[in-house]
Chains A and B, each alone.
Chain A
Amino acid sequence: MSVAQLPVDPDALRAEVRGKYRDVALQPAGAHHFHTGRPLAARLGYPNHWLEPLPEAAVESFAGVANPFALRTLEPGERVVDVGSGAGFDTFVAGAQVGEDGAVVGIDMTPEMLDKARRNAVCLGLRNVEFREGLAERIPVADGWADVVISNGVFNLCPDKRAVFDEVYRVLRPGGVLQFADIANGRPIPAGALRDIDLWTG
């Protein structure tokens, strides 16, 4: 899809999203329009035993919208890509599930989130997790590398969803699984609202 056909300018939307999630990285308990951290994870159905081993810094900036492990948990040894990994909460949950024989690559476009995720990974002593800067539309992972792609609350912020899902398909191996969480609306959103960047992020 060409940029002209998209409801909003993707670069402008990315700038807005980066700003929003920079705030979530630096001020997780700030005045956001969504819940964050451990209370959110509990609300979304993450079991306590996934949360308890994680330090507060690894959980406090979590801003997902549902549980991408609700329909399937990961298996030891799987190779996983987390699209829009933020401060790394779902990446760390995935890392615990795939174990030392597995690998998880978190992808994010917000520098403050990447910095926080990398510090958290060092703090946790994880060797099966890494974070790379990148976009959902251009995932910095080789064709067919991933057994599983996870994501949480990210695709709804991408105006060209076809491009994103094409990219997810590319990085998955044949037989691989996409398991993600996202929001969906039961009532149609007016066309005018779709062109309002503020409504995409707030």
Chain B
Amino acid sequence: MLEDIGFVGVKVGDPVDTFGGARGEQKARSFQVYGYPFLARKPGGAPLHR
């Protein structure tokens, strides 16, 4: 979806076990839910430093 909108350079980082040990852990496990960092850039203009 991000690329459909026009974003470029989409990256996804390593997963983290967001719900481990929390009350929502069982539901999260049943759908293999994890947290992720995402990065994407709007094309054009001067790029940011990194």
A contacts, CB < 8 Å to B: 31-35, 43-45, 64-72, 75, 78, 147-148, 153, 161-162, 165-166, 169, 172-187, 189, 199, 202
The reply to whether B24 and A173 contact each other, CB–CB distance below 8 Å, is no
Interface residues on B, range: 35 or more
Residue ranges of B at the interface with A (Cβ–Cβ < 8 Å): 1-2, 5-7, 11, 13-24, 27, 30-50
B7 and A185: CB pair below 8 A?
Answer: no
A185 vs B28: C-alpha distance when bound (angstroms): 8
Q: Which residues does chain A contribute within 8 Å of B14, judged by CB atoms?
A: 70
CA of A181 to CA of B35, assembled, Å: 7
Would you call B38 and A180 a contact (CB within 8 A)? yes
- Chain A: minimal CB distance from B43 (Å): 7
Once the chains bind, are B34 and A175 in contact (CB under 8 Å)? no
Known: A31-B23, A33-B23, A35-B21. A75 touches B49 (CB 8 A): yes
- A184, B19: Cα distance in complex, Å: 12
Query: Chain B residues with Cβ under 8 A from A177's Cβ?
Result: 39-42, 48
Is the pair B32, A66 in contact by a Cβ cutoff of 8 Å? no
A72 engages B1 (CB within 8 Å)? no
Decide: B40 and A182 in contact? CB cutoff 8 A: no
Tell me the bound Cα distance from A161 to B50 in angstroms. 26
On whether the beta carbons of A175 and B37 are closer than 8 Å, the reply is: no
Given known pairs A75-B49, A165-B5, the reply for A65 and B39 (CB within 8 Å) is: no
Report chain B residues within 8 Å CB of A178. Answer: 2, 7, 38-42
